């Protein structure tokens, strides 16, 4: 199968938190950029001679809306060659080579089990896409728990949007938890305590979607299977 690369134009940039930036990208050669919520694109950045050293993949943060534009949210990693290039060199009007959509980290065909969307940092991107899609299309859904772990309140991506969504979408629970902030009235600590607490009373059938850094995903898989869930109930998208 031939790889199809497209040229995307950056139409807008917004700094969302002190170290993350939102990138809106339009693909002029396509009438609409169609993807499933949860999928990602791969960018080919001019940072190395070798192809595979130039490629960086990012989950799509926006929901499919029939246009040829989509959004990525990217964190500036210390010493990260790809993100440093994107933050320093890319301006509105810049072009990016991309392919996609790719990936199978997508919503289940029938949403009968409760959904636990567990993420850290920019790992919220695919879940924002999924939840907005469910809301927009009024898809029948069970309880949805979006458990989002960050260090400080300033790191919470899309916080206002998620709070609004919680008010509008029945059965959707937005559960941010901060590991380092003292003056915070919400959940404190790591994501794991929250889903364990919710399921402590009653082990309901559930699908677990994990997105973020390897350490969080490994620990979550361990804890979820220890609660008696099957590996098939766990879906993951690894960052970094």
pLDDT at residue 239 tops 90 = no
Q: Would you state the pLDDT for residue 240?
A: 62
The domain spans of the chain are 6-102, 114-239
CATH (one of 3.20.20.140, 3.40.50.300, 3.30.300.30, 3.40.50.80) for 114-239: 3.40.50.80
pLDDT at residue 75 tops 70 = yes
pLDDT at residue 69 tops 80 = yes
CB-CB contact of 173 with 144 (8 Å): yes
Structure tokens at 26: 């339009």
CA distance 18 to 187: 22
Per CATH, the architecture of 6-102 is what? Beta Barrel (2.40)
Are both 6-102 and 114-239 of the same fold? no
Percent of the chain past pLDDT 90, that is, above it, reads 92
| Mean pLDDT for all residues in the chain | 95
Q: Would you state the pLDDT for residue 228?
A: 94
Sign of the CA dihedral 82, 88, 92, 94? negative
Burial, 228: exposed, middle or buried (Cβ in 10 Å; 0-12, 13-18, 19+)? exposed
Number of Cβ atoms within 10 Å of the Cβ of 222: 10
Q: Would you state the pLDDT for residue 110?
A: 86
pLDDT at residue 2 tops 70 = no
Tokens 């694109």, located at residue: 41
pLDDT at residue 1 tops 60 = no
CB-CB contact of 42 with 100 (8 Å): yes
Percent of the chain past pLDDT 70, that is, above it, reads 99
């Amino acid at each position: 199968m031939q790889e199809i690369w497209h040229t995307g134009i950056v139409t807008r940039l917004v700094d969302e938190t002190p170290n993350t930036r939102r990138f809106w990208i339009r693909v002029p050669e396509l009438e609409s950029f169609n993807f499933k919520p949860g999928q990602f694109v791969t960018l080919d950045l001019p940072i190395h001679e070798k192809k595979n050293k130039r490629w960086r993949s990012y989950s799509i943060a926006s929901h499919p809306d029939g246009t040829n534009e989509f959004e990525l949210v990217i964190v500036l990693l210390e010493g990260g060659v790809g993100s440093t290039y994107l933050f320093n060199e890319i301006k509105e009007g810049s072009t990016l080579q991309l392919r996609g959509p790719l990936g199978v980290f997508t919503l289940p065909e029938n949403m009968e089990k409760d959904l636990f969307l567990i993420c850290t940092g920019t790992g919220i991107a695919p879940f924002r896409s999924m939840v907005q899609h469910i809301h927009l299309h009024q898809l029948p859904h069970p309880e949805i728990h979006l458990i989002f772990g960050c260090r400080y309140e300033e790191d919470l991506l899309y916080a206002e949007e998620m709070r609004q969504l919680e008010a509008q979408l029945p059965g959707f629970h937005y559960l941010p938890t901060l590991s380092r902030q003292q003056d915070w009235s919400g959940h404190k600590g790591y994501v794991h305590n929250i889903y364990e607490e919710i399921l402590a009373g009653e082990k309901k059938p559930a699908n677990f979607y994990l997105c973020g850094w390897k350490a969080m995903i490994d620990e979550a898989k361990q804890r979820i299977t220890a609660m008696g869930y099957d590996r098939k109930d766990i879906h993951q998208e690894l960052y970094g």
